Structure formats: C-alpha cells, structure tokens
Amino acid sequence: MKDKSQWYRFISHGFIHGDMTHLLFNMLTLYFFGKNVEVIFFYLFGNIYIYPLFYLSALVFSSLPSYSKNKNNPHYSALGASGAVSAILFTTILFDPWQTILLKFIIPIPAILFAIGYVYYSHTMSKRGTDNIGHDAHLYGALFGIIFPVVFKPGLISIFIEQLSHPRFLN
C-alpha cells in the first residue's frame, strides 16, 4: 500500500468483506445502532454530514495500528467495516450505557458490560494474533467511537458518568 501509493485503501477496505457472515454481522450492527448515532449527531451538531464524516474517519483511524504493524509486509491485507462499525456501537454505548444489548441475539446484557467484555476479548485476541481477525481495528474503532463525540462535546463525559451512576435496573 505504501510503496504503490494506494492510500485509498484506508477507505475502500470498509466496503469489502471476507465472507457473508462477516458482512452480515457488520450490516446488522450498523442497522441496529447506526440510525441512533446518525440522529444523535444531527441533534448535537445540526449537520447531516457529521455522521458520514465520522464513519469514514473511523474506517481510517481503526486501520492505522494494523497498517503501522504491517506496512512493510507486502502480503498483508485487511478488509471489512468492523472498525467503523465498532465506532458506531461504542458511540451508542457512550450515549446510553445501560441500554440492553442482545449477546448472540439471545442474552440481554447492559451495553456497558458488553463494552467491557468486547474490549477485553479484542485486546486478548489481538495479543495472540492467531485467528486472522483485525482485533486491533475493533479496539481502535471502539476508541474512536468514544473520542470523536467527546472531542467536539467534552460535556458528554460528565453525562456518561452520570448515567453510569444510575443503572436502570436499580430503579
């Protein structure tokens, strides 16, 4: 990528998937959480272009760690929208940490607990590096999903902490 000046691949990889399962999980997550983030961003920023800017920026940002590790490996390739989709999921969690997420579409758990498990699993699997999945992209996408809105609206941190201190299931 570096040697051939194929910088467009920081974006284009998000529109190619390894198989139908990979595509299905990304698109289902995008479907269930994307509209919420789009509406919230329009409310916060008053601009319909922030959401696509966020998504495309998340594709790039989530790719940087893998690119940095593999920039001199001509055989390395990465594909999928998982980093950007993780960003959308974690932005949703930032705005509503106690919402219910269905783990494997069956088990209801609070989003914040899902987030903790997701980060732990992605970090652990990234260190192992044995399954040909871009766990770094998942982690950095999740991080971007928190950082992007907070950079523009720092007050979101105190709202998030306030929400964390009042779990819905205790009411």
**Domain of residue 72, residue span:** 9-170
Q: pTM surpassing 0.85?
A: yes
Q: How far apart are CA 166 and CA 95, in angstroms?
A: 13
Q: In this structure, what CATH number is given to the domain that contains residue 32?
A: 1.20.1540.10
35 Cβ partners below 8 Å, 6+ apart? none
Asked if residue 42 is part of any domain, the answer here is yes
Number of structural domains in the chain: 1
Q: Is 4 part of a structural domain of the chain?
A: no
Is 68 among the domain residues?
Answer: yes
Q: Specify if 3 maps to a domain.
A: no
pLDDT tens digits along 134-154: 778 889 999 999 999 999 999
In a domain, residue 163? The reply is: yes
pLDDT in tens, 36-65: 999 999 999 998 999 999 999 999 999 888
